[in-house]
Amino acid sequence: MSCRDRHATGRSPGSARCRPGPRSPPKAIRAASSRSSAGIERLSAARAAVLLAALAMQPGLSRAQQPLPAGDGAAADETLFVGFEINGRPSDLAAVVRRRGGDYLIRDADLAALRLNIPDGVALEIDGDVYRLLSALQPMAVSLDEGRQVLLLSLPQTAMQATSVNFGRGPLVPPTSRDWSLFLNYDAALATTETYALGSGAVEGVLSGPYGSLTNSGLGRMRLDGGIGGGARSGDTQSTDSAVRLESTYTYDNPDNLTRLRVGDSVSGYSSFAQQVRFGGIQFSTDFNLRPGQYKFGAPGLAGYLDNDASVALYVDNVLRYTGSLPAGPFSFNDLPVTTGAGETRLVVRDLLGREQVITSSYYVSGDALAAGTQEYSYELGALRDDYGRRSFDYGDAFLSGTHRLGLTDWLTAEVHGELQADRYQLGGGPC
């Protein structure tokens, strides 16, 4: 019973004390207040829906990165300024994180500074920064040391960014110029006996310019004592003076896509299903020699994990190839500078206390294998060359040939080869 009711019954005010309380509004006012509260709730729900739609349309987020569930909203998040300790190693970074329930929101920039992989999937933009759920990294344990204000994380290796050292397949450096040039290669020999003196030699001349190069080569021999015959027998009267043309070729190289066009004398491309032949005609092929230092095969790599910062030295076939310092965490050496065949790598790891660990591994590289996605081809049209090195212009049957190889993986290469002549044809293919 309220104080007003007691006065209405005629009781004395002193018979029962009551403390004045808030006066109840009239019924009309209470109804209006109830309708106003319902309107505010509907307005808040509408604003929340608009906010979620706006977050979904942020240009910095992909379709796959839908906004996080709003829950109580960003205003309900607990903002913390903490340091980090990952797998027992303290970090120099201190940053703002948001605690939402039993999970944490960390900015993409802070994940990168901690050398952690930015997880795919859900993202949320708050005050212009993109946040990710820490649980997306699949941590093994997460705890907050409130006394030190340090977030303790136990993470798998897959959550950490690997330190990579790449040796090969760098960007192609184009030629600085294509000026005109002319050079001559030669080789000469002199043979003498009691009965004769014979001189012989090989010569190759090349004219190179912006539009390709012209090459011509040949062999020659001649008696230098004025006599005839090339043997030690006195009755040998056959003349030994002769000259033979070897190759005459126009070549145009395209270093941008590693292709070569040859018109003239050439050798057919390599194939696992046929022998190479000399011919005269047109050839269009790839040429990986146009990019020195690069590998067409899948070069082996070396990967591991460092518990602490360390200095490392990498030896490939007992040749020092790398020395430097690596941070704690996963690491990898890619495209090791190796040669085809069998070999050995040796990694020497020395920590800050001077303790040394040596890791040795073996490898084998096939010269026929191509790296995954790498293509090698050669297509020829012309006439077969006969009596090469003995006759200058001896060409035989016309032929058409083609070889195309593709690296399916670093250890599996597929090849297709075909040949066509007037009286025969050949077609083969398969792994090689």
The pair of three-digit structure tokens given for residue 137, joined into one six-digit string: 């990294």
The CA distance from 69 to 71, in Å, is 6
The CA distance from 187 to 204, in Å, is 9
How many alpha carbons lie under 13 Å from residue 36 in its C-beta half-sphere?
6
219 CB-contact burial (10 Å; exposed 0-12 / middle 13-18 / buried 19+): middle
pLDDT at 17: 36
- pLDDT tens track, the chain, 432 positions: 434 343 333 443 333 333 344 444 444 333 333 443 444 344 344 444 433 443 344 444 443 344 444 444 555 788 999 999 998 888 889 999 999 888 999 999 999 999 899 888 778 888 888 999 999 999 999 999 999 999 999 998 888 888 888 886 656 666 667 789 999 999 999 988 888 888 999 999 999 998 999 999 999 988 887 665 544 444 444 445 689 999 999 999 998 889 999 999 999 999 989 999 999 999 999 998 888 767 788 888 888 888 888 999 999 999 999 999 998 888 999 888 888 899 999 999 998 888 899 999 999 988 888 989 999 999 999 999 999 989 999 999 999 999 999 999 988 999 999 999 999 999 999 998
Domains of the chain as residue ranges with CATH: 78-161 (3.10.20.410), 302-365 (2.60.40.3110)
